[in-house]
Amino acid sequence: MMSRKVSVIITIYNEEKYIAGCLASLAEQNWQDFEIIVIDDGSTDKTYQILPGLQTKNYKLRTFRQKHQGLATARNLGARYAQGEIVVFLDGDMVFSKTFLKDLIEPILAGKTKGTYSTEEYVANWDNVWARCWNYNWNLPKKKRIDSKRKDQQQEFRAILKKEYDRVGGLDNIGYTDSWTLPKKLGYRPTITKALYYHYNPSNLSEVFSQAKWTAKRKYKFGKLGKIYAFLRANPLFSLIIGLYKSIIKKEPAYLIFKLCYDFGFLRGLLEKNTYA
C-alpha cells in the first residue's frame, strides 16, 4: 500500500490543559507520514503561547491563529494550508491510540471510501463527576462519547480526501452543528472505522456552562418553532424535574446541579446572536 501524506488539522480554543497530551499521543503514532497544523481560534488563555515548546522531531508542526470565529472557519483555514492528500480533523482535547491514524485513513488509502469516521470515541475523564453527568445528559453509553446505534451521531468526517473537502468549499459556519454540514454538501456520509481515541468531557461547571451555550447556537429543524421548543425544554421547572429524576435513576446526586447549570447556559446561548462564542 502506497503512503500518502496526511495533514492533521487540530482546532483549539482555550485548550492549554490538554494540547500537550494531544500532541504527545500523535507523536507516538505508528503512521509517520503526516504533518500537524494547529489553528488557534482566538484562545484567551495560554494555549497559543505554549505551542512552540511542543514541537518535536516526530512530526512537522505549523501553527496559525485567527480571531474567534468558530470551528468551521478554523477547520477551513487549516485545510487551505494543508499539504496532504488526506486531511484529518481533530480537537485539542483528544488523545489517541498508537494505531489511530493508521486505522482511520487505511480505508481511504485502499480506495474503499473518500472519507471516514470512528465510533470508538471514549470519555477521557470518566472519573470526573461532571464528565459523567455530561454523558447522562446526552443519553450516551457508559464511558463513550458516541452511540454507535445512533445514525445522527455519525455525520462528522474525521478524515477525508482534501480534494473532496475543497470541492464543496469545506464546512458552513452555522454554529454547534457546523461539522455536520459536510455530508449534506457532499451527498454521502463517512465510512465508520474502529480507530480508537479519547475525548475530554467538561470537567467543571464553568466548562459545562460554556459548552451548553455553544450547543444552543445552531440551526433548528423547525426554525423559530424549534427554537421555542428548545427554550421551553430548558426552563428552570423542567430542568428541576429532569435533574431530580436522572439524579435518582443514575444514582448521581450532582446531576441535579449539572442540569440546572447546563440548561441555564443553554438558555443564554439561545438568547445570544453570536453563533460560535
Higher confidence at residue 224 or residue 172? 172
- pLDDT exceeds 50 at position 1: no
φ, ψ for residue 171, nearest 5 deg: -85, 155
Domain residue extents for the chain: 6-199, 205-271
Cα(26)–Cα(93) distance, rounded to whole angstroms?
Answer: 12
Q: Is the pLDDT of residue 275 over 50?
A: yes
Edge to edge, the sheet with strand 159-161 lists 60-65, 34-40, 6-12, 86-91, 159-161, 115-118, 191-193
Q: Averaged over 86-97, what is the pLDDT?
A: 98
Which three-class secondary structure string do you get for the chain? Answer: CCCCCEEEEEEECCCCCCHHHHHHHHHCCCCCCEEEEEEECCCCCCHHHHHHHHCCCCCEEEEEECCCCCHHHHHHHHHHHCCCCEEEEEECCEEECCCHHHHHHHHHHCCCCCEEEECCEEECCCCCHHHHHHHHHCCCCCCECCCCCCHHHCCCCCEEEHHHHHHCCCCCCCCCCHHHHHHHHHCCCCEEECCCEEECCCCCHHHHHHHHHHHHCCCCCCHHHHHHHHHHHCCHHHHHHHHHHHHHHCCCCCHHHHHHHHHHHHHHHHHCCCCCC
User: Does the structure show a pLDDT above 80 at 3?
Assistant: no
Q: Residue 277: pLDDT band by 50, 70, 90 thresholds?
A: low
The three grid cell numbers given for residue 73, joined into one nine-digit string: 472557519
Look at residue 148 in the predicted model and tell me its pLDDT: 85
Of the candidates 34, 24, 25, the residue with the CA atom closest to the CA atom of residue 82: 34
- What contacts 123, CB < 8 A, 6 or more positions away? 131, 132, 135, 143, 144, 145, 198, 199, 200, 201
The pTM of the full predicted model, rounded to 2 decimals, is: 0.92
Q: What's the chain's average pLDDT?
A: 92
The position carrying cell 500537524 is 36
Poorest-confidence range of 24-28, 31-35, 155-159? 31-35
Q: Structurally, what CATH architecture does the domain formed by 6-199 represent?
A: Alpha-Beta Complex (3.90)
Nearest-angstrom CA–CA distance, 82 and 7: 6
